[in-house]
């Protein structure tokens, strides 16, 4: 039996709340399956859903109730005002990473002339959210994005094509392809895996059972990738350069020290996100 829009939303909210999920996910799913924006959906509160829409919606609500992320169910996520395709091969873009992009753009305005061509590399690009957004927000960037997983790069390439961003994609392990070629950059950005293995048990199954672990976990203290990057960074950064890392809450000072050891000449700063958590580390020199 089909339901009206308001009945479907009420059912989904109750169902998801009972299972410890976000009750607002029902609205996102219903907007997806009806093709309506929020205003249109609420204007249609008393309209009856078609059989096909109701069945697809109910199935998706049950899947989310079992832990599958809404973004994977609908196939996209919004990031910096744009729509990015996502699937189980990539980390779902987070608001914290939007803050990393914002602060990087602001710092670049001060460090590089507006008409200067600047080379940027995004390490562990995943969906391509950082690389693509940076290119679209500052067109005279020459952007390279790398990932160890070919499956992730396919998603990033699709997003770059759909959003009209010219990006060079490289499959490889961190900075190894660039060290081997002697390629250098003005700006490096990365949101690497930084969650300690010990945190896994306390995390939501929505994350641990669905998002790619290669994009989440990094050793006992979560700093394995940062340490590896510090070994390679001196071989790929220019004499005047900037580094922008996203870090886990509580890791800011530790990552800043790693950067300071690798680049004694750098000005290093830990930046807190909108929630007051240390979430970004920036370094500049030259």
| Mean residue pLDDT across the chain | 91
The Cβ of residue 239 has, within 10 Å, a number of other Cβ atoms equal to: 9
Give the model's pLDDT for residue 116: 94
In this prediction, residue 24 carries a pLDDT of 85
pLDDT at 188: 98
Which residues have C-beta within 8 Å of that of residue 34, sequence separation ≥ 6? 5, 41, 44, 49, 53
Tokens standing for 83?
């729509």
- The pair of structure tokens assigned to 69 is 């992320």
- Provide the pLDDT for residue 194: 62
Identify which of 168, 97, 180, 92 has the alpha carbon closest to the alpha carbon of residue 135.
Answer: 168
Beta strands in the chain (DSSP E): 76-79, 82-85, 118-123, 141-147, 167-171, 185-190, 237-246, 267-272, 278-285
Read off the DSSP letter of residue 93.
P
Sign of the Cα torsion 98, 132, 92, 122 reads negative
CA 15 vs CA 5, 26, 64, 65: distances in Å: 15, 9, 10, 8
Q: Kindly indicate the confidence band of residue 32, based on its pLDDT and cuts at 50, 70 and 90.
A: very high
For residue range 78-101, what is the model confidence (pLDDT) as tens digits?
999 999 999 989 988 989 999 999
The domain defined by 89-285 folds into Rossmann fold (3.40.50)
Tokens of 15: 């169902």
Smallest Cα–Cα separation from 92: which of 121, 72, 117? 72
Q: What is the spatial distance between Cα 76 and Cα 71, in angstroms, rounded to a whole number? A: 5
Per-residue model confidence (pLDDT) at position 23: 83
Q: How far, CA to CA in Å, does 184 sit from each of 25, 122, 176, 215, 243?
A: 43, 13, 12, 24, 13
Question: What is the structure's pLDDT at 238?
Answer: 96
What radius of gyration, in Å, describes the C-alpha atoms of the chain?
A: 21
What pLDDT sits at residue 199?
54
The region that residue 80 occupies, defined by phi over 0 for left and psi between -120 and 50 for alpha, beta otherwise, is left
pLDDT in tens, 156-215: 999 999 999 999 999 999 999 999 999 999 999 999 866 666 655 665 665 566 555 555
Higher-confidence residue: 209 or 102?
A: 102
- What's the pLDDT at 280? 96
Only one residue has tokens 């499956």, namely 151
Give the span between the Cα atoms of 124 and 227, in whole angstroms.
15
List phi, psi (to 5°) of 97: -75, -30
Q: Residue 106 and residue 243: Cα distance in Å, rounded?
A: 13
Mean pLDDT of 261-274: 95
Buried b or exposed e, range 17-40, using 16+ CB within 10 angstroms: eeeebeeebbbbbbebbbebeeee
Q: How many C-beta atoms surround the C-beta of residue 93 within 10 A?
A: 24
């Amino acid at each position: 039996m089909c339901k009206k829009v308001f009945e479907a939303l009420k059912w989904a909210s109750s169902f998801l709340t009972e299972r410890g999920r976000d009750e607002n996910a029902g609205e996102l799913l219903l907007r997806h399956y009806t093709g309506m924006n929020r205003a249109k959906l609420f204007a249609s509160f008393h309209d009856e859903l078609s059989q096909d829409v109701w069945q697809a919606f109910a199935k998706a609500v049950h899947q989310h109730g079992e832990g599958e992320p809404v973004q994977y169910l609908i196939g996209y996520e919004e990031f910096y005002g744009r729509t990015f395709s996502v699937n189980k091969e990539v980390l779902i873009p987070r608001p914290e990473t939007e803050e990393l992009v914002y602060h990087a753009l602001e710092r670049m305005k001060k460090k590089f002339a507006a008409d200067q061509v600047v080379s940027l590399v995004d390490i562990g690009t995943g969906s391509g959210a950082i690389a693509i957004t940076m290119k679209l927000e500052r067109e005279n960037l020459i952007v390279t994005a790398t990932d160890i997983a070919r499956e992730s790069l396919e998603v990033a390439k699709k997003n770059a094509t759909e959003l009209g961003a010219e990006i060079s994609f490289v499959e490889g392990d961190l900075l190894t392809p660039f060290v081997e070629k002697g390629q250098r950059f003005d700006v490096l950005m990365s949101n690497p895996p930084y969650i300690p293995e010990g945190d896994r048990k306390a995390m939501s199954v929505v994350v641990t059972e669905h998002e790619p672990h290669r994009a989440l976990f990094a050793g006992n203290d979560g700093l394995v990738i940062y340490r590896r990057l510090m070994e390679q960074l001196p071989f790929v950064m220019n004499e005047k350069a900037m580094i922008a890392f996203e870090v886990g809450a509580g890791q800011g000072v530790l990552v800043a020290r790693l950067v300071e050891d690798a680049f004694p000449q750098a000005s290093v700063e830990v930046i807190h996100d909108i929630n007051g958590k240390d979430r970004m580390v920036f370094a500049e020199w030259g």
